[in-house]
Amino acid sequence: MVPNTTPVGDFLDAIVATHKKLIEASKLTMPIISINAYNCPDKQRRIEVVYHERLDAATLSTTPITFKGTPHFPLSSNMDYFITKLIFSNYQFQSSLDTGDLLYQRVVDFVQTKKKMGKVIRIEIPTFPSSKEILAPTHLFYVYVKGVYTPEDVSMERTLMIPHHQKAPVRIQWAGSTPFCNYCRKDGHILNRCPSRLSLICY
């Protein structure tokens, strides 16, 4: 909790400064998934921060954020929601539009509007140096969803055909999801244990 006159951007700078060593050691490009502010009674403001899951939760939840000389201790989590990370793979990036609003809108339409799983708060697109020494996206991206439903609750599909140029469906997985077979497109096993594939007889 901070005074409601506290600029969120300035407080974010204080968070980064406080956890500088932790963030630098992680080598993450997006150590902070999202930050939001909610005004409360008595001229107070609650600042909600969602960190990347690879950062040490014990350190984050016990280290006060020092802002203008005043330490602000993290509140115990009593929220009735959680953050789910969905992994979309086998996506065919073809233009800069795929890394911006166009991809974001497609994901929002699917996750928020169709599946009603929760609010998409961040899309993370890993990149790597290409042959021309510029950063290019890989075949996957991560979607962070804030809500009260799990992928299982909303019967999340394991494959999705994204409109426009996609020639093959993307694959979707998450922590705790069952194995998915790329041969028969069914849950519960991987390719080298696929009953359909093993039933084939070669002569």
CATH code at position 90: 3.30.70.330
* Tokens matching residue 102: 């166009």
pLDDT at 7: 85
Q: Which of 96, 102, 97, 88 is nearest to 135 (CA)?
A: 96
**Is 92 found in the same domain as 22?**
no
Asked if 155 and 177 touch (Cβ cutoff 8 Å), the reply is no
Total domains present in the chain: 2
Q: Give dist(CA 104, CA 97) in Å, integer.
A: 10
pLDDT at 86: 92
Q: How confident is the model over 172-195, as a mean pLDDT?
A: 79
Q: Is 77 part of any domain?
A: no
**Is 178 found in the same domain as 96?**
yes
Q: Give dist(CA 50, CA 37) in Å, integer.
A: 12
Asked if 50 and 121 touch (Cβ cutoff 8 Å), the reply is yes
**Is 64 found in the same domain as 26?**
yes
Give the model confidence (pLDDT) of 83-130 as tens digits: 888 999 888 777 656 666 778 888 899 999 999 998 888 888 887 776
Residue 187 has pLDDT above 60, yes or no: yes
Residue 203 has pLDDT above 60, yes or no: no
The residue to which tokens 């204080």 are assigned: 14
**Is 187 found in the same domain as 100?**
yes
**Is 142 found in the same domain as 43?**
no
pLDDT at 154: 92
| Domain range for 131 | 82-193
**Is 88 found in the same domain as 162?**
yes
Name the strands in the sheet holding 32-40, side by side, starting at the edge strand that comes first in the sequence. Answer: 2-3, 44-51, 32-40
Q: Give dist(CA 50, CA 14) in Å, integer.
A: 15
Residue 51 has pLDDT above 60, yes or no: yes
Q: Is 145 part of any domain?
A: yes
pLDDT at 201: 54
**Percent of the chain beyond pLDDT 90?**
6
Q: Is 201 part of any domain?
A: no
Q: How confident is the model over 3-32, as a mean pLDDT?
A: 87
